[in-house]
């Protein structure tokens, strides 16, 4: 079943926010389900995202392990020992981050560049009320995300080159640039998807 790109983008955002409020048991259940889906649907993209963020993940775990007060993991290490509570909280945050990457990999696997632009184009429609162009915003943001993803997947260690490539690829996008977006309609299935994501957010916020 194909959902509207905008519905998929909003659902991903709601899911990421919901995971921040989940306790350990619901989080583990949700993470297991999403990670399984990522391995089945977009394994290569997910593993590449994890590989490129592995140092961020390690830093996150160490920060929580050594900055959270609690019982020391090893008395023999003294002040050099991380706390049990810190390691537990670090693992929880690491689970949230990994699950967010897994769901992002699924989203990017399901949406082509044009579908991503079409989804953002729909979401940016209210900005026209304040005089902003939803077309330019959608195109620039979508192309930025697309080329940023390509830079990550290439595994380039020179972040300066990656930034220069972003500007080279979309820096000349102007009003004369024509992009034909796929026609998408909101269906009952899209409303059910959004309602489910919103319900999950409400439940986790209780």
pLDDT along the chain (206 residues), means of 10: 88 94 91 94 90 89 86 73 88 94 92 82 76 69 64 52 48 53 82 93 89
Closest CA to 97 of 136, 39, 58: 58
> In the prediction, which pLDDT does 7 show?
93
Domain parsing of the chain, residue ranges: 1-111+185-206, 112-175
Give the Cα separation of 153 and 145 in Å (integer).
Answer: 12
pLDDT at res. 68: 84
pLDDT of residue 81: 80
For the chain, helix, strand, coil in percent to 5 are 80, 0, 20
Tokens of 69: 């007060």
CA atoms lying within 13 Å on the CB side of residue 93? 17
Q: What is the pLDDT of residue 39?
A: 93
pLDDT at position 158, please? 44
What integer pLDDT is reported at residue 155 of this predicted model? Answer: 53
pTM for the full predicted model: 0.77
Enter the tokens of residue 143.
């192309």
């Amino acid at each position: 079943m194909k959902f509207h790109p905008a519905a998929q983008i909003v659902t991903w955002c709601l899911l990421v926010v919901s995971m921040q409020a989940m306790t350990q048991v619901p989080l583990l259940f949700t993470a297991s389900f999403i990670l399984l889906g990522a391995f089945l649907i977009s394994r290569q993209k997910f593993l590449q995202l994890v590989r490129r963020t592995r140092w961020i993940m390690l830093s996150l775990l160490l920060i929580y392990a050594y900055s959270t007060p609690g019982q020391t993991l090893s008395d023999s290490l003294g002040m050099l020992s991380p706390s049990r509570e810190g390691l537990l909280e670090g693992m929880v945050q690491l689970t949230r981050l990994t699950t967010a990457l897994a769901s992002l990999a699924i989203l990017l696997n399901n949406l082509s560049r044009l579908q991503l632009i079409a989804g953002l184009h729909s979401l940016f429609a209210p900005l026209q009320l304040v005089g902003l162009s939803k077309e330019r915003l959608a195109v620039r943001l979508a192309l930025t995300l697309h080329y940023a993803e390509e830079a990550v997947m290439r595994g380039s260690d020179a972040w300066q080159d990656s930034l220069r490539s972003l500007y080279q690829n979309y820096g000349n996008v102007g009003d004369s640039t024509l992009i034909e977006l796929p026609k998408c309609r909101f269906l009952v299935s899209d409303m059910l998807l959004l309602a489910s994501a919103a319900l999950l957010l409400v439940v986790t916020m209780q």
